[in-house]
Structure 1
């Protein structure tokens, strides 16, 4: 028996892990983005992204991002899912080690008169107490890589869960920035409409005074009054949209919408950040959804090995040693010593096709994950292309819209001068003012769309192009009712013993 363990271990060294080893599938790409340098992407979401929103140089936006990162509830849930996946990976790796336990028992029993015995019992039996104090040891030898493949899959699942955290974090931050720029755009529109209400109110007063003096018509007074009321109604509509965006931001920040408030800003939106010329395509590698899909594929590949290993024998080393006695006072005496050891071999003979179907299922899951990875990559490329196109076209639209705004404001000034000189009807003033307000609001809306397009590009690139900051799981504010708080689990005696043999865990933060 003393030669069995070295023999089995040497045999295990000769037997490779069954199942395919993971290799990242090749990805076919175009030679370059449309107007941007390009090379083949390799998922690497661990690369630094930095605080990308700071390129917009908005202190309020920076503050909102900090609050959202600390308090967003969906983000906390994603981190909890990562903790679950990391714990599952550690559990899978723990199967590589022996399992030892100390079962203690005290019971009353009766032995069989026909029990196996080296001497005839002739009806003898024992009835009375029985005390056992032994150590049980079980160790499954991973000769065919079933446990190692399972640990490999668990590790890939944990890495995919970490990428899922980053993906949700990036999406949440992009939503905060998008809603914030929409809200600031509405602030500017509300300001413009209020200015129009003031101007139209002055025109209404003038028209009313002209009617009272007999120099104007009641039609002009009614028209000017209509314009004032229409603008006031538009303010209410814009304010309702702003309130909805404010509530949406409150949810993203994990704040109570009833008490959350963003003070209106009187300044306009700044220009969008400049895109680095020839942005390297390896920025696309930062996308956590691509990396997550690649890790899911790696886990599915490892599980093929787990399924294949089910066709091979399972070998366990089993040992038991301790004391057994009918008298507790004699339990720890040398005469009460018992022991046993030996291998346990399980050969899979018939399972009704279960193992075969399980292997088929594992291969199909791999093919599904492969398609998901390729789809994620294609989506990433399309997102970047769409964002670049939006930025280009919106820049051209903004330039043309600014010219339209300038000419509309000039036309409004001419119409007002001609009306005051009596050479044009008041209807020309109304139309010119409406056109001016529409072009002013369109200019503000285009400025907002350009900022949002920049956010979309940063999101499509996986978090911007700043490579000076390390990336890590975000530090969120713990919920007072949470159970899984770091450092809250007190270690006992066994945890201290295990710490002696503990290796560095690659899944530890």
Structure 2
């Protein structure tokens, strides 16, 4: 009979422990609704190398992608001074402290106390009597909650998941920071170059306006040509102001990201020529779950799973052990002291507040469903971000090739018109307008180059800061 009772208790405890367990989802389950492969990554120029090599970190990936010393200096400065990174690092310390506190709750809690009292007595008799008595109590209390149903363990696991999430948040913050710095830097270089070309064009259009005025006054041109040249000049002047505004905004945005009053730039004269060969993975699950933001969302889901399990375990009784040890020292006693100790166990279960605990469990279950759906949405958004970035990278590269052809044509025509102007076949007005057209082609190429660089920055970001670029393999690329 006793054996059957013991066996039944063991089964009951096993069922309760199973009921309070937390099961984490497998990544294959989370990505089951995604397509089996990317469709647009084949548009990007891929390396054929199959040699496995050690990948570099996101900062080195950015440096290898563009090979620009000014950009590298900006990244290094931001890594040490950016306030967003410092805030994220402070959050890591917070979650680390919470994790250590949750770990400590799994072990017995010991506290000590020391109480002393002194009594003075005086009698107004003859002779006067005085007495002095000192009493000290030294004690220690031990309490330990037996975590039979996993309440404390699930709380610890939830804090550990949040700690891991904070680490991934830091990596994602670095990638976002590097991408933003690169985008602003390229915009700053482009606007600086285009400001110079626009200022040259203003000079050309002013000269063209004056030559046109002379021809109109001499009856060689219709007055409408004068208004057209004035519009060209006005539009170019407004374009210069827009470029100056963009330049100032980009500079100030960089200063904010660097938490600095001065940019560590060495007069960049041209936009970098990026690397265009990558070793990109084609499996969505592997690619997506290598992104820090997806890892952070996954750890957030894990934390909610453990939080729900903690809420369920809170519905079960709490069993704890308590022990007290006290030593009493009396100044009137010849002994060293009296020692007293006690050991007690306690069983507490929620009764009147059970509705609150039950509703908290239902709340955590609803939050878990929301976390799961949010992760699903994040995965799908990330999948199509990669599709869009892959397509746009190829599209921007095609536009860059077209702009290079346009500049070549403009350069050829300018050389042709310069020769004609030198022998008097065309006048100075036409030659001046041809000079402005050449500058416009240069400005267009600068803008297209910048757009191409920005699409590569987005590609870098959507692949989690890892395009599988290697120092040794890029020496000849």
Q: 1:364 to 1:225 in 2, by over 3 A?
A: closer
1:49 counterpart residue number: 57
1:142 counterpart residue number: 147
The Cα shift of 1:20 comes to: 2.7
The Cα shift of 1:48 comes to: 5.7
Q: After the TM superposition, which residues 143-162 of structure 1 pair with which residues of structure 2 at under 5 Å, given as runs?
A: 143-162=148-167
The DSSP-based 3-state class of the residue aligned with 1:103 is: strand
Contact 1:34 1:385 in 2 (8 A): yes
The Cα shift of 1:352 comes to: 4.8
Q: After the TM superposition, which residues 29-40 of structure 1 pair with which residues of structure 2 at under 5 Å, given as runs?
A: 29-36=34-41
Query: For 1:135-164, what per-residue CA distance to the aligned partner results, in whole angstroms no more than 9, with x for missing partners?
Result: 111111111111111111110010011111
How far apart, in 1, do the equivalents of 2:422 and 2:99 lie?
Answer: 80
Q: 1:261 to 1:96 in 2, by over 3 A?
A: closer
1:472 counterpart residue number: none
Match status 1:296 vs 2:300: yes
Match status 1:104 vs 2:109: no
2:7 counterpart residue number: none
TM-score normalised by the chain length of structure 1: 0.74
How far apart, in 2, do the equivalents of 1:299 and 1:82 lie?
Answer: 15
1:163 counterpart residue number: 168
Match status 1:311 vs 2:315: yes
The Cα shift of 1:102 comes to: 1.0
The DSSP-based 3-state class of the residue aligned with 1:179 is: helix
Contact 2:315 2:354 in 1 (8 A): no
Match status 1:16 vs 2:17: yes
Contact 1:19 1:306 in 2 (8 A): no
The Cα shift of 1:353 comes to: 0.5
The DSSP-based 3-state class of the residue aligned with 1:318 is: strand
The Cα shift of 1:261 comes to: 6.4
Contact 1:85 1:161 in 2 (8 A): yes
The counterpart of 2:351, out of the listed 344, 349, 353, is: 349
The Cα shift of 1:260 comes to: 4.0
How far apart, in 2, do the equivalents of 1:53 and 1:293 lie?
Answer: 24
The Cα shift of 1:178 comes to: 0.6
What runs of 5+ residues in structure 1 fail to find an aligned partner? Answer: 1-9, 38-46, 110-127, 470-509
Match status 1:94 vs 2:104: yes
CA RMSD of aligned residues (A): 3.6
How far apart, in 2, do the equivalents of 1:320 and 1:62 lie?
Answer: 62
1:265 counterpart residue number: 268
How far apart, in 1, do the equivalents of 2:56 and 2:351 lie?
Answer: 52
The Cα shift of 1:418 comes to: 7.2
Q: After the TM superposition, which residues 37-436 of structure 1 pair with which residues of structure 2 at under 5 Å, given as runs?
A: 49-50=57-58, 51-54=60-63, 55-106=65-116, 131-200=136-205, 231-256=236-261, 259-260=262-263, 262-267=265-270, 269-276=271-278, 279-281=281-283, 282-324=286-328, 327-328=330-331, 330=333, 333-334=336-337, 336-411=338-413, 435-436=437-438
The Cα shift of 1:168 comes to: 1.1
The Cα shift of 1:208 comes to: 8.7
What runs of 5+ residues in structure 2 fail to find an aligned partner? Answer: 1-9, 43-54, 120-132, 472-477
How far apart, in 2, do the equivalents of 1:229 and 1:420 lie?
Answer: 29
Contact 1:89 1:155 in 2 (8 A): yes
1:455 counterpart residue number: 457
Contact 2:38 2:282 in 1 (8 A): no
How far apart, in 2, do the equivalents of 1:21 and 1:462 lie?
Answer: 27
Q: 1:330 to 1:242 in 2, by over 3 A?
A: farther
How far apart, in 2, do the equivalents of 1:58 and 1:180 lie?
Answer: 11
Contact 1:273 1:454 in 2 (8 A): no
Query: For 1:457-483, what per-residue CA distance to the aligned partner results, in whole angstroms no more than 9, with x for missing partners?
Result: 0100001223779xxxxxxxxxxxxxx
Greater share of helix residues, 1 or 2?
2
The Cα shift of 1:19 comes to: 3.4
Query: For 1:25-49, what per-residue CA distance to the aligned partner results, in whole angstroms no more than 9, with x for missing partners?
Result: 5112212111437xxxxxxxxx863
The DSSP-based 3-state class of the residue aligned with 1:97 is: coil
1:118 counterpart residue number: none
Query: For 1:278-306, what per-residue CA distance to the aligned partner results, in whole angstroms no more than 9, with x for missing partners?
Result: 54443433211100010011111111211
Contact 1:99 1:138 in 2 (8 A): yes
The Cα shift of 1:448 comes to: 0.3
What is the aligned residue count? 427
Contact 1:174 1:459 in 2 (8 A): yes
TM-score normalised by the chain length of structure 2: 0.78
How far apart, in 1, do the equivalents of 2:157 and 2:469 lie?
Answer: 30
How far apart, in 2, do the equivalents of 1:418 and 1:393 lie?
Answer: 38
